Amino acid sequence: MTDAPAFRATVLTLYPEMFPGHLGYSLAGKAMERGQWALDAVQIRDFATDRHRTVDDTPAGGGAGMVLKPDVLARAIDTVSDNDTRPRLLMSPRGKPLTQKRVRELAAGEGVIIVCGRFEGVDQRVIDARQLEEVSIGDYVLSGGEPAALTVLDAIVRILPGVMGNDLSGLNESFEGGLLEHPHYTRPQEWEGRDIPAVLTSGNHGAIDKWRREQAVKLTRERRPDLLDE
Ligand code: SAH
């Protein structure tokens, strides 16, 4: 494949060997092999300048843990983003929660630069000075940004053109129409005394669409009423 990949991800991390991780498998892995997207994992420690390759230091003001140094991280960011207009994300539990809407915007662009935090986090000055967009994958705390970065990239890559086997299968998905998706069934027709809802085997596509829509609204009302408010 001679064309440049449509989507380029660069991840800054202290654990580059964690990448591409699960993204090397299945549809994302095949799309990567075909050159539809590319992933470069860059070792932050390579940008430390002292003899011990120090990347972190104790928190100003005291307290537990260590903080990633701004100078080292900025050098890493500047090196990978020379003349680069890709959005720069920082994985952070304090960030804006990731949504399918933001995933779609990111997937429509040329790529992303993702910084993975570790320890207590990163020095605030580098977040401000390099305009890092803090993104959270949920209201819980991970030990590092790497699984969060893999999650963000997974959500992006699966909707890149041509990556999913059937491009249409994304259209009705959870969150796409502001609703959770309807339930799915497949053969056998009867399993442990439970039947597939009759409407789904009726061949009446109008009735099937209506039933799915009703189920989606019902599920959303029960589980995620906040989505209906939006
Ligand atoms: N002390 C910080 C948590 C640090 S966790 C706080 O209380 O806010 C270490 C790193 O894991 C973070 O820098 C971040 O990169 C990553 N991380 C942890 N939870 C995350 C989440 N929910 N979403 C995205 N990244 C997360």
117 Cβ closer than 6 Å to some ligand 1 atom: yes
146 Cβ closer than 6 Å to some ligand 1 atom: no
149 Cβ closer than 6 Å to some ligand 1 atom: no
Q: Are 227 and 180 in contact (CB under 8 A)?
A: yes
User: Which ligand 1 atom sits nearest the alpha carbon of residue 65?
Assistant: 1
Q: How many angstroms separate the CA atoms of 186 and 16, rounded?
A: 40
**Ligand 1 centroid to residue 37 C-alpha, Å:** 26
Q: Per-residue confidence of the chain (230 residues) as pLDDT tens digits?
A: 557 889 999 999 999 999 999 999 999 999 999 999 999 999 999 999 999 999 999 999 999 999 999 999 999 999 999 889 999 999 999 999 999 999 999 999 999 999 999 999 999 999 999 999 999 999 999 999 999 999 999 999 999 998 987 665 666 789 988 999 999 999 999 999 999 999 999 999 999 999 999 999 999 999 999 999 87
60 burial class (0-12, 13-18, 19+ CB within 10 angstroms)?
exposed
**Ligand 1 centroid to residue 71 C-alpha, Å:** 20
User: Which ligand 1 atom sits nearest the alpha carbon of residue 68?
Assistant: 13
What is the Rg, in whole angstroms, of the alpha carbon atoms belonging to the chain? 22
Place of tokens 């990567």: 32
120 Cβ closer than 6 Å to some ligand 1 atom: yes
